[in-house]
Amino acid sequence: MPPRTFPSAIGASAVQPSRSRAAVAEDLRHIPWLDRLDDTERERVLADLRVVNVEPGELVCRVGRPVTYWFGVIDGLLKMSNDSTLGVPITFTGMPPGGWFGEGTVLKGEAYRYNIQALRKSVVAGIPAATFHWLLDRSIGFNRFVMNQLNERLGQFIAAREIDRLTHPDERVARSLAALFHPMLYPGVGEWLRITQQELGYLVGLSRQRVNEALASLQAAGVIQVEYGGVRVRDLVALRAYRSH
């Protein structure tokens, strides 16, 4: 999906005041690290947290832009990819609800090396980089969350390199789908993920028709159930280890 260009987009890695709003109770319910904070920390986060609606194709983060926020997905689906102007486009991972991303970039204070693009209408939250660092300096619980994020993300990208070497489309779909059900990185997903075959195709790099065939094979193997509007995982361990016959 080619990125759309918006004059007021948050591709500059800053939630524009004209577009963003304060978080409401329903938004907060989807932020997994809030319950690790004490009252003072939570008060500051609620004061600084901003939420924005993102349109399909819009960039949340753009290669080369300075980091100013740490972002998370309240609802919708995003994808992380390289700068396609420099060569063959590569999708690194998808970002379903509950996922927070870019902590490594915020920690280093460097420019983004990847694009984050919405595959469908999404709701994205963010806290300023200054608030992120303030929490790191103060909260043991928040530090543990970020440390776990970095550790799990490393494992995810190692797995992504392995997916790149897989030649059978069914196995590529199985591994990519399993990554979206990661219970620590994406706690908002649970056992059911709202995703279309076209969206999964964007993430895996296959046609919608080939994704449909792969999903049928995975369902026949008993590891997933294809339902209206999404996919339910029946056996995550088996999905991660799926091999075509």
**Helices marked H in 59-139:** 103-108, 129-138
Distance of CA 18 to the CA centre of its chain: 24
Beta partners for 61? 12, 116
Residue 37 tokens, joined: 């904070």
CA atoms 56, 153, 30, 134: torsion sign: negative
Tell me the CA distances in angstroms from 111 to 4, 16, 152, 234, one per residue in order: 20, 18, 22, 39
pLDDT for the residue numbered 4: 41
Buried b (16+ CB within 10 A) or exposed e, 120-132: bebbbbbbbbebb
Q: Mean pLDDT of successive 10-residue segments in the chain (245 residues)?
A: 39 56 94 96 96 93 92 95 70 90 93 92 96 97 95 78 73 91 89 93 90 96 94 94 84
Q: Please, what are the domains in the chain?
A: 21-153 (2.60.120.10), 168-240 (1.10.10.10)
pLDDT for the residue numbered 93: 84
pLDDT for the residue numbered 6: 30
Rounded to whole angstroms, the Cα distance separating 58 from 238 reads: 34
Rounded to whole angstroms, the Cα distance separating 209 from 211 reads: 5
Buried b (16+ CB within 10 A) or exposed e, 157-173: eebbeebeebeebbbbb
pLDDT for the residue numbered 2: 44
pLDDT for the residue numbered 146: 95
Rounded to whole angstroms, the Cα distance separating 51 from 75 reads: 11
